[in-house]
A and B are shown apart, each in its own frame.
Chain A
Amino acid sequence: MTNHWVDIRNANLILSMGGNSAEAHPVGFRWVTEAIEHNKAELITIDPRFTRTSAVAQDRAFIRTGSDIAFLGGLISYLIETDQIQREYVLNYTDAALIVRDGYGFEEGLFSGYDEATRSYDKQSWMYEKGDDGFVRRDDSLSDPRCVYQLLRGHYARYTPDMVSSISGIPVADIQRIWKKIAAMAVPDKTMTILYALGWTQHSIGSQIIRAAAMVQLLLGNMGMPGGGVNALRGHSNIQGLTDLGLLSQLLPGYMTLANAKEQGYRAYIDKRTKQPTVAGQVSYWKNYEKFHVSLMKAWYGQAATADNDWCFDWLPKLERPLYDILDTFERMSKGELTGYFCQGFNPLASFPDRAKITRALSSLKYLVVMDPLNTETSEFWKSYGEYNDVDPSQIDTEVFRLPTCCFAEDDGSIVNSARWLQWHWAAAPPPGESRPDTRIMGELFLRLKQLYQTEGGVFPEPILNLTWDYKIPHEPKSEELAREFNGYALEDLTDAQGQVVRRAGEQLSGFGELTADGKTTAGCWIFTGCWTEAGNQMARRDNADPYGTGNTLGWAWAWPANRRVLYNRASADVQGRPWGANKAFVWWSAAQGRWIGADVPDFPPTSAPSEGQMPFIMQPEGVGHLFAGQSMVDGPFPEHYEPFESPVPQNLLHPGKPKVRNNPAARIFDEDRAALGTPEEYPHAATTYRLTEHFHYWTKHARLNAIVQPQQFVEIGEKLAEEIGVAAGDWVKVSSKRGFIKAVAVVTKRLKPMTVGDRQVHHVGIPLHWGFTGVAKKGYLVNALTPFVGDANTQTPEYKSFTVRVEKA
């Protein structure tokens, strides 16, 4: 979230799209109802289904799954054509006025630079044009045909209400009514917040849907504002933390990235990531990349990391494929290219797409290690459970180890909620039997490997033999030790410009501003620096005071970065540093004190006066929010609607008769998986998976209470579809895709209505995902038997929210 849960109460309008927070995040949703009751806010939901969030909304529309960019692109066009934008904000805090290179263009559904053979873009033309001074050119009149504003306007001119309606299935009147309400948030003292979750990420165009939302918020002047922002509500309890810590194939902690194989030199690696300002005088905070990187390498490799060996740059693995994401890995695994695999608290048999392929892949491993508190389906993928898991163990040669771990109630540590708060927790009891914390398992495993390399030698042992491991009990690192390590400390005395010692060697650092690139500091995750200082564990703080009445509790836990609760909060004040409205005062410039003050920690250099002209988006080289994505996306600088890879609609209505741009042309799909896509004729129904309020993924079917209240697998179909296929409520139905089937009880509901899309009527099928063959609930079918093996072009997040099935009476 750019903002946070309690801040939702400051919104004037709440757009819930790509999520269903009343059911998936019920306690967070109380702040939506708080805004409705006490801030006269309106809630609008846009969803394929009538959800419990829709049930309490003041306005709602029903959208065909996978068509969100059509709706948001049309909204962008409407805001521009009716001149309902926050003009002062757009002009100063976004790239609207910046000029784009001449070569950039968009034709026949493709952006400039497309290469069909590699399904990728050369992004050379997706750049701002620089003037003779080396900085980006701009046109403050916003009239230059090459300025971002005019390109944006041109791009979305095609997204008329009629076009949006024909793609999304939303009637024109509903579209226009909702656009009008959203446009009213363009005035400086009103804000809309956008709440989304996996309903936006799990599409082959997922990242671009979210970008479209961010662009709407920039045009309305809602980023950095209390009650504004683009808020990813997210899934698991520490999914934010594991993302922050970089446990993803291409990342290092704190959103640093691994080098690819072409980046052989340390200096070139650093220079590419050290973003210098492209507009004069801007902050461009990534210019400090080397400080973060060297501090990480000092945390990991200690004295072995020196300037002379480029801080052990070659010890980090380099990427030879674009991404070693889970789809890529299971594709390789299914071809027998992997030997071993670890699942630490992760149940891929249940949660990865095309379950038959996942079973095939796991069966080809030599060894599989599962670390989990629970008896997961993955750990028993080799065991026959009849139709629920139809395998022959004698044909599966994978050696499977199952290691019992602690659950939340049995270990100490911190987890990061979706508002970026690091909250500390304590163990209440020992775990059952011989279960151990993950920290200890990883510690013991590492020490055994290290010993093997010490005694036997082996390939490239240097990083293993030199890894910093100074824990008091080496095989059992304590959470306190690890938290202090990712915060970081001074290795030598640190001095200020006058030579005064400001930090003694050995002291914990108080913030990432203290990090240096010369090896004097450590920090295992620079964005977490400040969480465990000389003043102790900041994550364990419990002061819930809210002195400004904005819902900002700076004394509760600790938020990254630097305990800021609303990102980009400098944008909550105008160019002169004054709040946009008295009711939206949040962070502002105090001439008397010579610094930024207010309810939050300023997301800005604290003494940079408005007259200095620095702009609020300090992580961007231009200092402004990007309407034009330039280099950050692989599939286009502006979001474009493409159909899901499996769609009930045979063509992209924006580009009729052009099959190459029916689906995202930059999304990766393996040949075998493309062959496993169904056609609208065979599989006519639009399917979408989702969670229920009584369950959490595949965990709570192991908890008796949750199994009692929601015991049995079902699917939801509308009354019209039920009538067409001769199914009554309570009948068993078989739901099939080209990849597999499930059987479940039919819930026939008014909550799903047929929609008119182009020339056809589309029925949605709702598929809750919580059942499997282990646990205390009734056994059920893993729904990922149905889903396609294709992901978002940027993140490779699988397209679970839009695919096609056929429903029939079982």
Chain B
Amino acid sequence: MAINVTRRQFFKLGGAGLATSSLAVMGFAPEPAEASIRQFKLTHAKETRNTCTYCSVGCGILIYSKGDGAKNVEQNVFHIEGDPDHPVSRGSLCPKGAGLLDFVHSDGRLAYPQVREAGSDEWKRISWDEALGRIARHMKDDRDANFVQRNAQGQTVNHWTTTGFLAASGSSNEAGYITHKVVRTLGMVAFDNQARV
């Protein structure tokens, strides 16, 4: 098959190409064919605006999910593509972003709280109540035992150095803000996020 593409088309293709193996979706089919495929695929889908979770360019994405809103139906994400309105990305995604759907549905996603007991070689599923209860107990015991109100020089320091916290620069500002608010209020200082590395 002879395919003529301009440099510009090729550039677009490089960005959009990885997620789809279908040549039609890659732009080689006549426009009407492409349009009909898209329409068919996205009919009845719910469109949600989001931002790519990988790098800091912040490309706009459209997430398509199925689910008719019924009480016992959950939305299921089945397609993700670039947002053509976005002033930076203008609908493009790179090879990382083109695989976002497989991140959402990865086999590596965790689904339940688990614990690995000291010395054990396996995970054990536990409830949220047990997990948070045990973690809070550990934290309070350590904080009460090791919180320093005054240091050796008699200076007020009010810090807790024996439990540390790494926050996530893949999480939202809102998660980051409440994390900071809680962590500092507890007196923690060994506190960083990926910006440190």
Whether chains A and B associate is yes
Q: How far is the CB of B195 from chain A (nearest CB, A)?
A: 4
Residues of A with C-beta under 8 A to B175: 411, 413, 437-439, 442
Residues of B with C-beta under 8 A to A800: 197
User: Interface of chain B, helix or strand or loop or mixed?
Assistant: mixed
Evaluate contact between A795 and B135: CB separation under 8 angstroms. no
Select the residue from B15, B60, B74 with max chain A CB neighbours within 10 A: B60
Evaluate contact between B173 and A486: CB separation under 8 angstroms. yes
* Docked CA distance A249–B52 (Å): 27
Residues of A with C-beta under 8 A to B186: 449, 463-464
* Docked CA distance A444–B190 (Å): 21
Closest to A481 in B: B174
Residues of A with C-beta under 8 A to B94: 25-27, 693
- A316-336: CB near B (< 8 Å → 1, else 0) gives 111110001110110011000
Evaluate contact between A544 and B85: CB separation under 8 angstroms. yes
Evaluate contact between B50 and A338: CB separation under 8 angstroms. no
Does A184 have its Cβ within 8 Å of any Cβ on chain B?
no
Given that A340-B139, A374-B110 are contacting pairs, would A346 and B193 also be in contact in the complex, using a CB cutoff of 8 Å?
Answer: yes
Evaluate contact between B110 and A396: CB separation under 8 angstroms. no
| Chain B interface residue count, Cβ-Cβ cutoff 8 angstroms | 126
| Chain A interface residue count, Cβ-Cβ cutoff 8 angstroms | 167
Evaluate contact between A546 and B87: CB separation under 8 angstroms. yes
Given that A264-B155, A399-B117 are contacting pairs, would A421 and B58 also be in contact in the complex, using a CB cutoff of 8 Å?
Answer: yes
Residues of A with C-beta under 8 A to B89: 27
Q: How far is the CB of A801 from chain B (nearest CB, A)?
A: 12
Chain A positions 342-365 with a Cβ under 8 Å from a chain B Cβ: 342-346, 348, 351-352
Does B181 have its Cβ within 8 Å of any Cβ on chain A?
yes
* Docked CA distance A325–B165 (Å): 11
Evaluate contact between B158 and A315: CB separation under 8 angstroms. yes
Q: How far is the CB of B146 from chain A (nearest CB, A)?
A: 7
* Docked CA distance A314–B157 (Å): 8
* Docked CA distance A84–B174 (Å): 47
* Docked CA distance A241–B53 (Å): 13
Residues of A with C-beta under 8 A to B96: 26, 693-696, 700, 706
Residues of B with C-beta under 8 A to A25: 55-57, 94
Does A556 have its Cβ within 8 Å of any Cβ on chain B?
yes
Closest to A395 in B: B119
Evaluate contact between A429 and B76: CB separation under 8 angstroms. yes
Given that A237-B51, A422-B173, A426-B48 are contacting pairs, would A404 and B110 also be in contact in the complex, using a CB cutoff of 8 Å?
Answer: yes
Evaluate contact between A247 and B135: CB separation under 8 angstroms. no
- B50-72: CB near A (< 8 Å → 1, else 0) gives 11111111111001110100000
- A234-257: CB near B (< 8 Å → 1, else 0) gives 111111111111111100110000
Residues of B with C-beta under 8 A to A426: 48-50
Chain B positions 153-175 with a Cβ under 8 Å from a chain A Cβ: 153, 155-175
Evaluate contact between B120 and A393: CB separation under 8 angstroms. yes
Evaluate contact between B115 and A399: CB separation under 8 angstroms. yes
A776 touches which one: B106, B153, B167, B180 (CB < 8 A)? B106
Residues of B with C-beta under 8 A to A483: 173-174
Does B40 have its Cβ within 8 Å of any Cβ on chain A?
no
* Docked CA distance A237–B193 (Å): 13
Residues of B with C-beta under 8 A to A463: 185-187
Does A398 have its Cβ within 8 Å of any Cβ on chain B?
yes
Evaluate contact between A320 and B159: CB separation under 8 angstroms. yes
Does A446 have its Cβ within 8 Å of any Cβ on chain B?
yes
Does A16 have its Cβ within 8 Å of any Cβ on chain B?
no
* Docked CA distance A553–B88 (Å): 10
Does B178 have its Cβ within 8 Å of any Cβ on chain A?
yes
Given that A239-B56, A702-B106, A774-B108 are contacting pairs, would A439 and B75 also be in contact in the complex, using a CB cutoff of 8 Å?
Answer: no
A346 touches which one: B51, B121, B166, B185 (CB < 8 A)? B166
Evaluate contact between B136 and A235: CB separation under 8 angstroms. no
Chain A positions 251-273 with a Cβ under 8 Å from a chain B Cβ: 252-253, 258, 261-262, 264
* Docked CA distance A456–B149 (Å): 19
Does B5 have its Cβ within 8 Å of any Cβ on chain A?
no
* Docked CA distance A553–B197 (Å): 31
Closest to B114 in A: A402
Stretch of B22-30, B31-39, B125-133 on the interface side: B125-133
Residues of A with C-beta under 8 A to B156: 264, 314, 318
Evaluate contact between A344 and B167: CB separation under 8 angstroms. yes
Evaluate contact between A339 and B146: CB separation under 8 angstroms. yes
A460 touches which one: B15, B77, B149 (CB < 8 A)? B149
9 A–B contacts from the bound complex (CB under 8 Å): A30-B11, A239-B56, A243-B169, A320-B161, A346-B193, A411-B172, A414-B174, A438-B168, A459-B144
Task: Supply 17 further A-B pairs (C-beta < 8 A) apart from A338-B161, A429-B104.
Answer: A244-B173, A245-B177, A320-B151, A341-B163, A345-B168, A373-B110, A396-B118, A401-B115, A405-B110, A417-B51, A429-B77, A432-B109, A460-B187, A486-B173, A544-B86, A699-B170, A703-B99
3 closest pairs, A vs B, by CB?
A345-B168, A433-B111, A417-B58
